[in-house]
Structure 1
Amino acid sequence: MQVLVRDNNIEQALKALKKKMQREGVFREMKQRKAYEKPSEKRARQKSEAVRRARKVARKAAQREGLIPGPKKKPRPMGRPRAGGAPTSDAVRPAAAIGG
């Protein structure tokens, strides 16, 4: 796993590394390996994870088909625009409109 450090910003690089590790499931696996898990507990955990995954797939399919409503969109907070976001109004207008 690799994270680039830009402008000696270690905090941002650590945040990106933690996010990548969270997505890959590293923290969950570390927690599971901390103590011994009985085979019966392991089977029960794997079965419950499979059920959860199957429910998620079914829910997503039902949302695509319109049987149930999709997730509510979160309102975007007002404030400083994010870097690399939508173009500014000057970039959208044709060059002739900017000049006058």
Structure 2
Amino acid sequence: MQVLVRDNNIEQALKALKKKMQREGVFREMKQRKAYEKPSEKRARQKSEAVRRARKVARKAAQREGLIPGPKKKPRPMARPRAAAAPAPAPAAING
């Protein structure tokens, strides 16, 4: 996994990395590997995950066909005009 660091902004890069790891399921897998999972529990978990995926696919297909309404769209906030960079202060005159 790779994240670009722009303008030495480590906080923003860490935030992007955590988001990528969350999407990939790295945190969930780390939590599962922390303790032993019995084979019967593993089968039950995999089966429930498969059912959840199948329901999601069926729901998306029904939404595309118009059988059920799609998710409500969130209202987008109005774009704020970005402030222009403040001009650099003039160098102070040195009286010596």
Answer yes or no: same fold by TM over 0.5.
yes
Distance (Å, rounded) in 1 between the aligned partners of 2:34 and 2:59:
33
Distance 1:72 1:34, change over 3 A: same
Matched, 1:65 2:65: yes
Moved over 6 A (4+): 81-87, 94-100
For these two proteins, the number of residue pairs brought into alignment is: 94
Distance 1:99 1:19, change over 3 A: farther
TM-score by length of 2: 0.81
More helix by share: 1
Equivalent position SS for 1:97: coil
The two structures, once aligned, show a CA RMSD in angstroms of 10.1
Deviation, structure 1 residue 76: 1.1
Matched, 1:43 2:43: yes
Report which of the two structures shows the higher radius of gyration computed on alpha carbons.
2
Deviation string 1:35-78 (CA, Å, 9 cap, x unpaired) is 00000000000000000000000000000000000000001123
Structure 1 unaligned runs (5+)? 88-93
Percent of pairs with identical residues: 96
